[in-house]
Amino acid sequence: MSPRPYSGARVAYGTMHGKEATARAPFQHRLGAQVVAADGIDTDRFGTFTGTVPRLLAPADAAAAKAALAMEITGQPFALASEATYLADFGPFADHHELLLFQDGVRGMTVVESAMTRVASPFSDVGSVPEGLAAAARLGAPDAAVTISTLADGAAVHRGGLRDRAAIADVLEELLSLGTGARIQRDRRAFADPDRRAVLADLADRMADRLTRPCPACDAPGWGVVDVERGLPCAVCGSPTRGIRADVLGCGRCGERASRPRGALRMSADRCDVCNP
C-alpha cells in the first residue's frame, strides 16, 4: 500500500459547524487529501445539544449517518463525521466523549478514533443577570460561546452563539422575564467551543496518521486500535481485574485482529475487586 493512499482525494466532512477546518491541515500534510465541507448539509436533524431536536441514534450511528449524508450531497466517496456526548456527574465536571469516523466508500470500510476528556460542568441555573454574567465567564465567554434557555408556557426557548457580555445580558433579561429562571451552558457546537475544536483537531491528526498504516492481512489503510482486552492480574492475589492488559488492533475492511500487550504486567491491589471489594 502507498503510504499516502488518499493522495489527491477530496474528503467530505459532514458538518454545518465548521469542523472541516480542524481536519484540513493533518489530512493535507499526512495524506495529501483535501477536506471540504458538505455545503448545505443539515446535521441538526440527528439531534442538538440543547435538546431542541432529540438525539435518537447512538453516537457511532449518528456519525455514520452524517458521513453518509455528506457523501450523498457532495458525490465524494470519502467522508468524515463526528459526534460528541457530554455526561455530567454530581461534581463540577463532565466527561466529554468525542468520536471521529472516516468512511471509505471505495473500499467499503469504516475507521473510528475517539477521545475522552474531563471538562467543566456544562451548565448553571441562574435567577438574575449578574448571576448569568458570572456563569458565562466561568464557562469561557467571550472566548467560548454560551447558550441560554428557559421554559415559557411549557415550551423551551433557546438562544445560542452568545459571546459578547452585552448580548448575554440582553438575552438574560429577555428570558428571565419569560420564566422563573434560566439555564446557561457552554455552546458545544464546534465553531463556538475552542476546547472541542482542539479535541477534534487531535482526533483528525490521529485519524490521518492511522490512514497511513496498512492492514497486515489485506493492505487496506486504517490499521489501529479497535478494542481492548481487560483482565490485568492483581499484583497481590493474581485475580483478573478490570485493568487493560492489551490493545486489540484491527482492520476496517477485512476484520483482521491482533493483540498488542500494554506495558503494565500487574494491577495494584487497590484496583482489585477481590482484594478491595
Shared domain for 51 and 181, answered yes or no, is no
Confidence of residue 194 (pLDDT cuts 50, 70, 90): very high
pLDDT in tens, 131-167: 999 999 999 999 999 999 998 888 889 999 999 999 9
Backbone angles phi, psi at 275, to 5 degrees: -75, -30
Shared domain for 156 and 199, answered yes or no, is no
Q: Which residues contact 250 (CB under 8 A, 6 or more apart)?
A: 223, 224, 225, 226, 227, 256, 257, 258
Distance CA 104, CA 78 (A): 5
In terms of DSSP bridges, do strands 155-162 and 146-152 run parallel, antiparallel, or are they unpaired? antiparallel
pLDDT in tens, 98-128: 999 999 999 999 999 999 998 876 688 999 9
Instruction: Determine the average pLDDT of the residues in 260-276.
Output: 90
Confidence of residue 233 (pLDDT cuts 50, 70, 90): very high
Full domain range(s) for residue 256: 214-277
3-state secondary structure of 102: strand
Instruction: Determine the average pLDDT of the residues in 3-11.
Output: 92
Distance CA 121, CA 253 (A): 39
Confidence of residue 91 (pLDDT cuts 50, 70, 90): low
Instruction: Determine the average pLDDT of the residues in 77-94.
Output: 86
pLDDT at residue 88 tops 80? no
Distance CA 173, CA 234 (A): 57
pLDDT at residue 44 tops 80? yes
3-state secondary structure of 219: coil
Shared domain for 182 and 219, answered yes or no, is no
Domain count, the chain: 3
pLDDT at residue 30 tops 70? yes
Shared domain for 103 and 206, answered yes or no, is yes
Instruction: Determine the average pLDDT of the residues in 45-56.
Output: 88
The confidence score (pLDDT) of residue 90 equals 60
Shared domain for 110 and 247, answered yes or no, is no
The confidence score (pLDDT) of residue 89 equals 66
Shared domain for 220 and 274, answered yes or no, is yes
Last residue of a domain, one of 186, 202, 237: 186
The confidence score (pLDDT) of residue 153 equals 83
The domain that contains 208 carries what CATH number? 3.90.950.10
Shared domain for 105 and 6, answered yes or no, is yes
The confidence score (pLDDT) of residue 179 equals 75
Instruction: Determine the average pLDDT of the residues in 36-61.
Output: 92
Q: What is the pTM of this model?
A: 0.90
The confidence score (pLDDT) of residue 1 equals 66
pLDDT at residue 193 tops 90? yes
Shared domain for 26 and 163, answered yes or no, is no
End-to-end CA distance of the chain: 50
Shared domain for 127 and 116, answered yes or no, is no
Confidence of residue 180 (pLDDT cuts 50, 70, 90): confident
Last residue of a domain, one of 171, 186, 201: 186
Shared domain for 5 and 115, answered yes or no, is yes
Helix (H) or strand (E) holding 160: strand 155-162
DSSP codes of every residue in 223-261 = -EEEEEEE-PBBTTT--B-SSEEEEEEE-TTT--EEEEE
Shared domain for 81 and 45, answered yes or no, is yes
Shared domain for 109 and 42, answered yes or no, is yes
